[in-house]
Amino acid sequence: MKERSDWLSNIQITFMVSSAIIGVTVLTLPRTAAELAKAGGFIATFITGALMALVLVIVALLARRFPNDTIMEYSRKIIGLIPAKILGFIFFFYFISVVSVILRLFCDAVKVLLLKNTPLEVLIITFLFAAVYLCLNGVSSLAKICELFEPLVIGTMLLVIVLSLENFNFEELLPAFKQNISQWLYAVPHLTISYLGFEVLLFITPYAQDTSKVVKYGLWGILPSIFIYSLFVAVAVGTAGVEAVARSLYPTLQLARYIKFPGGFAERFDIFFMIFLMLGAYTTVSSYLYLSSVSITKLLGLRNYKPFILLIVPIIYVLALLPQNIKEINVFSQYVSYIGLALLAAVIVLYVLAVILKKGESLENEGK
């Protein structure tokens, strides 16, 4: 029977973008924001989100110009074979690094919060193989899982924010309005890693049912993260104060811990939050695992990406265990986000080149 449901619908595009973005970084985001932009962290987060939404539009426009290809194929049409291969390899390296960083960040948090005596290696392997199982089932299953989990993740995050308002003190945020713009902008490059994830658009557009609406529905995907991130930073700073947030390991979990479970049914809201965050981390890891296997497959000019999922698993495992302590993880993740930024810049350049060289499909239906 014809599988009508295997194309990605518009809503699925939104959910995939959204779940690739929202993930583990929410754990540490308030710390970075508070460290660099002090009380104005939430404004800096919002600005970063707005800038990233702009970048997303460009990424989506580029993807829309080539509705039948992934970036691995059309970059060759724009800049030629050798540069495209180099770009493709950087993409692949970036993706596996992101999987490793996210895995490591998440499993560290799980170990600290839930399973103190379980070896980190076991956590990484089990979580990785759960992601492998999903990726082996193809992109439509990935989209469906995003649809299933993302409402739960976003719902829990909103719940944490709403319940935290009880402890919220607006005065902590007031110094933000005395700051100048340069301080906010200074934090922007460090905050971008939280918003990375919409690169999925470069790879899933060929599977979309309606390619012309990729821009619109991609934008819908980044909106929840902008608001949730900004609110998280604002509420975390407003609850605990700038200094406490900047020194806390996982300020978001700290925030959740202050919450009294309504009705006194359960004591630790942070565990409850962690449970649902695990779903968010899972969708992010799976998305990037899918992207890395697809990118290496296309790089080698092959079709079936599934064997590569299993081939790259050992690399990811080793990369995830490479940093020795939390400091090294932070350095690692910082470098990864720099690569990500560089790649986004490259994508923007690609788009400009494509427009100048008139490659790809003309955009008569622009504005739709």
Partner 1 sequence: MKYVEGSPNPKNRKKMEENNPPKLKSEEQVDLTLDKEIGKNLEKFKAFLKDSSDVVFREFSLGTQSIPCALVYVDGLVNVTVINEQILKPMMHQIALLETNLNQPIQPDRIFEIVKLHALAVGEIKEAKTLDDAFLYVLSGEVAVIIDGFDKILIANARGWPQRSIQEPPSEVVIRGPREGFTETLRVNTALLRRKIKDPNLVIKSVQIGRRSKTDVAYAYIKGVASQELVEEVERRLNQIDVDIFLDSSQIEQYIQDNYLTYFPQIEVTERPDKTAASLAEGRVAILMDNSPYALIVPATFYQFFQSPEDYYERWILASFIRLLRWSGAVLASLTPAIYVAIVSFHPGFIPTNLVISVAAARATVPFPAFVEALLMELTFELLREAGARLPRAIGQTIGIVGGLIIGDAAVRAGITSPIMVIVVAITAIASFIIPSYSAALAIRLIRFPFIVLAAVFGIYGVILGFIILNVHLVTIKSFGVSYMTPQAPMRYQDWKDFFIRLPTQIMKRRPTSTYPIDIDRRQQDPVKEEVR
Question: Least distance in Å: CB of 8 to partner 1?
Answer: 9
Yes or no: say if 174 and 245 are a contact pair by the CB < 8 Å rule: no
User: Contact with partner 1 (CB under 8 A): which of 121, 166, 243, 267?
Assistant: 267
11 binds partner 1 (CB under 8 A): yes
Closer by beta carbon to partner 1, 42 or else 272: 272
Q: How far apart are CA 16 and CA 35, in angstroms?
A: 30
Question: Least distance in Å: CB of 210 to partner 1?
Answer: 14
Question: Least distance in Å: CB of 271 to partner 1?
Answer: 5
364 binds partner 1 (CB under 8 A): no
Q: How far apart are CA 302 and CA 227, in angstroms?
A: 40
279 binds partner 1 (CB under 8 A): yes
- Tokens 């995830």 label which residue? 320
262 binds partner 1 (CB under 8 A): no
95 to 124: interface string for partner 1, x by CB under 8 A? ---------------x---xx--x----x-
179 binds partner 1 (CB under 8 A): no
Q: How far apart are CA 43 and CA 31, in angstroms?
A: 14
Size of the site for partner 1 (CB under 8 A): 38
Task: Tell the burial category of 299 from Cβ atoms under 10 Å away from its Cβ (0-12, 13-18, 19+).
Answer: middle
User: Helices marked H in the chain — which ranges?
Assistant: 10-21, 29-37, 41-65, 71-79, 81-113, 120-136, 139-164, 181-195, 200-204, 214-240, 242-247, 251-258, 269-299, 306-321, 326-357
Q: Binding residues for partner 1, per CB under 8 A?
A: 1-5, 9, 11-12, 15, 110, 114-115, 118, 123, 126-127, 130, 133-134, 137, 141, 143-145, 147-149, 264-268, 271-272, 275, 278-279, 282
